[in-house]
Copies of this chain bind each other. A is one copy, B any other.
Amino acid sequence: MFSLEHRDAGSKARAGSVMTDHGTIRTPVFMPVGTQGTVKAVQQRELIEIDAQIILSNTYHLALRPGPAVLEQAGGLHRFMQWHRPILTDSGGYQVFSLTELRKIDHDGVTFRSHIDGSRHRFTPAGVIDMQRSIGSDIMMILDECPPADCGYEYARRSHELTLQWAREAREHLERSRPRYDHAQAAFGIVQGNVFEDLRAMSAHGLMELDFDGYAIGGLAVGEPADVMYHITDWVTDILPAERPRYLMGVGTPVNIVESIARGVDMFDCVMPTRNGRNAMVFTREGPLTIKKERYLDDQRPIDEECECTVCRTFTRSYICHLFRAKEILALQLASVHNLAFYLGLTRDARNAILNDQFSVWKDAFIDRYLAEKAE
């Protein structure tokens, strides 16, 4: 499903294509997060306008609400939400393990209580595949255990071993099960092992023996320092096969993303553009702004003067500042669309730089400008 098109001359950055039955994804790529079958405050047709190539949704949330029966009746998530480009679904492992008080892990899976109504549920490696068959995502993630950043070596070792065991069970279940709808479903393994090189290496090699369609790096951006995240990413991408896509889960800031592209990552997702947008933080090429500050109330410029999104071509900082101060829903809509356009533009620019063997120069210029001291 992956074609490696070009390696940047001066870094590990790569440009490629991920082929799915819902279309081809050009990498590096950022995937907007649509946890519950909608990217918060953004319409599907707006995602097309800003050229989102693929979105991410969440097995845990969709399993609880609306549940597999409703999704199956609709003909899968693509038809349910009327999004006809690719969808990747996270396995739900991260969400379940975040419910520290509400879940119990055993050898065969995890039992948890719903954050919505307290009802009891169970995720197993096979069950999570079945749920993703009901969703019909183009790329499914296997169930993993995602330990906290400071869990220590012994916990990390046992956790990685459990994740690898679950990956074997998932692999077997993938062979036994078939897509429910008329399109193929790929599956990615998730490399765990926390901040420990040897565990990460064992995890990556163990998953590679199982031959997944792609490999995710999980358990990063969970509280460790950025340099540790970059180091582990670099370490893992040195092990992973070149001919498979690499997905760094839940990362991150614009700088995190370009630094990780430099270390050979192809795919990203993060709630930051939408969540921060809803909190009035908007991204610009010169760094983020808190657009609801009074200083922007008479600023007649767009959020980012170089941005070509509809929001920047139409509305001033002054108007968007007013909308936030007046607590209007349109504020959330406009900030979310612009921020996603910014992230999508970032990975698009990164790809073009790679194809022109200019990635490192482009990256340094982007970061210098983004982090430069500003008046704000």
Contacts and interface: CB of A to CB of B under 8 A. Distances in A.
Interface of A: 36-38, 40-45, 61, 65-66, 69-70, 73-74, 80-82, 297-298, 300, 310, 314-316, 318-319, 322-323, 325-326, 328-330, 332-333
Contact of A40 (B43, B314, B329): B329
Given A82-B314, A315-B82, A322 B70 contact: yes
Nearest to A75: B300
Contacts of A81: 319
Contacts of A41: 329-330, 333
A114 B310 CA distance: 34
B314 A66 contact: no
Contact of A319 (B80, B297, B298): B80
A44 B311 CA distance: 11
Total copies of this chain within the assembly: 2
Considering residues A69, A314, A330, which has the most beta carbons from chain B within 10 angstroms of its beta carbon? Answer: A330
- SS class, residues of chain A in contact with chain B: helix
A325 B43 contact: no
Given A40-B330, A66-B318, A81-B319, 4 more contacts: A37-B322, A41-B330, A43-B333, A66-B325
A316 B300 CA distance: 40
Given A300-B74, A318-B80, A329 B326 contact: no
A32 B265 CA distance: 48
Given A325-B65, A329-B332, A297 B70 contact: yes
Given A297-B66, A329-B332, A38 B323 contact: yes
Nearest to A311: B43
Given A37-B319, A332-B329, A73 B43 contact: no
A81 B66 CA distance: 36
Nearest to A66: B322
A69 to B, nearest CB: 8
- CB-based closest 6 A-B pairs: A41-B329, A66-B322, A38-B330, A36-B326, A38-B328, A82-B314
A114 to B, nearest CB: 13
Contacts of A310: 45
Considering residues A70, A80, A319, A323, which has the most beta carbons from chain B within 10 angstroms of its beta carbon? Answer: A319
B70 A318 contact: yes
Contacts of A297: 66, 70
Nearest to A61: B326
Given A80-B319, A82-B314, A328 B36 contact: yes
Considering residues A65, A74, A322, which has the most beta carbons from chain B within 10 angstroms of its beta carbon? Answer: A322
A49 to B, nearest CB: 11
Contacts of A61: 326
A294 to B, nearest CB: 10
